[in-house]
Amino acid sequence: MPPSPSAVISGITTAVSLAESISKMTTLIPSAPKDLKDKHRWVTVTVFNQTQYSLVYQASYFDSGRFWTAPTNVEPFKEMTFSGCNKNDSILTGVSGAAIFQLQMPKKGGGYETLDIGAGFTNPQSGAFKSSGIFTSSGKAAYEATTDNTSNNTSSNYSGKDTDDKETTINFLVVSSPGQEASLTVTEQIVSGGQLS
């Protein structure tokens, strides 16, 4: 959903602070636990939140399978891994679905400007590992957007003032990398302003 024209984001971090915080993050995807690897079909998705804002877990969608470890909120400049697998007692089925997160940006005067992000994933009975990272509140849409290639999408721009009280415009890049151990990276980008003088 595009930002509302009256939304003014408050307290945007400066470019230097943003770069420093992102550089301190890990880029490692943890190994799946043995119990999960024993399942017929399984997948993990590590969400890297390279933003100053919380990614709040909203909802999920399954075409097949279930969560092994359910998604949770992802704090700023942190990561979280969730996982899925085929359902117990299912016959020749895989795991395919999506999780929806909401990026919550504080607005001047209170409340939040929000941006919904869908993380789709598949490890089907037959076919390729696929994933997606798109701007949507629909789990089904995120699942249907999965691809076996790395994909990236850029959000609309958001304007506000940074912590130095300078006019700043930001947006968000979402990169999805498919695989049995997939990843979704959400990166805050400074489009204009936000520079230290």
Q: Phi then psi for 87, rounded to 5 degrees?
A: -70, 150
> What's the CATH code of the domain at 13?
2.60.270.50
What are 4's two structure tokens? 């509302």
pLDDT digits (tens, 9 = 90+) for 59-111: 999 999 999 999 999 999 999 999 999 988 767 789 999 999 999 999 988 89
Question: Exposed e or buried b for every residue in 4-29, given b needs 16+ CB within 10 A?
Answer: eeebbbeebbbbebbeebeeeeeeeb
Residue 4 has a pLDDT of: 47
In a domain, 132, yes or no: yes
Which are the contacts of 128, defined by CB distance < 8 A and separation ≥ 6? 122, 148, 178
Q: Is residue 73 part of a domain?
A: yes
Instruction: Check residue 187 and give its pLDDT.
Output: 98
Range of the domain at 34: 9-193
CA–CA distance from 49 to each of 3, 39, 107 (Å)? Answer: 20, 28, 20
Tokens of residue 134, six digits: 């798109």
Q: How many residues does the chain have?
A: 197
- The answer to whether position 4 is within a domain reads no
**Tokens 């020749």 identify what position?**
92
Tokens 């850029």, located at residue: 154
Could you give the number of structural domains in the chain? 1
Q: Is 33 left (phi over 0), alpha (psi -120 to 50) or beta?
A: beta
User: Tens digit of pLDDT for each residue in 120-170?
Assistant: 999 998 889 999 999 999 999 999 999 999 999 999 999 998 888 889 999
Q: Judge whether 141 lies within some domain.
A: yes
Total-model pTM: 0.92
